[in-house]
Amino acid sequence: MKLVVSSDHAGFPLKEDVRANLAAAGHEVVDLGAYKVEPEDDYPDFAEKVGEAIKAGMAPRGILICGSGVGVCVAANKIPGIRAGICHDTYSAHQGVEHDDMNVLVLGARIIARRRRTSLRTRSLEPRFRERKRDFSGGSRRC
């Protein structure tokens, strides 16, 4: 699968690990930065890069990383068509894609244990969205 990945300075070391592991697993990874640790960089810039790349068709899914995951998740979800979710467990990573059509996995570099990182990426890449009428029934529902 082709993926776009990006992080701010707090997520940079984890992004490098994620990028290398995804490439080793046979995925095509487009790195949208950061390219080095720069404490003055700003997380919304990286959320925008991933969101706009997905909207432009560069890749169907992305991974965003910052210190807690919250900042890039909030910023990414402001972009129409982006459905980002913070996932620090494998169940949420899988369900987020299969039931909620999540197209951006968000990780908090300062939150997630090193050994859990690989399993989360795998669980979010395996499923495909299964639309059910009750999930998107229209009408007055906002979600």
Q: Which active-site residues does the annotation give?
A: 66, 99
Structure tokens at 97: 């894609």
Edge-first strand order for the sheet with 2-7 is 28-31, 2-7, 61-66, 104-108, 84-86
Residue pair 121/21 in contact by the 8 Å Cβ criterion: yes
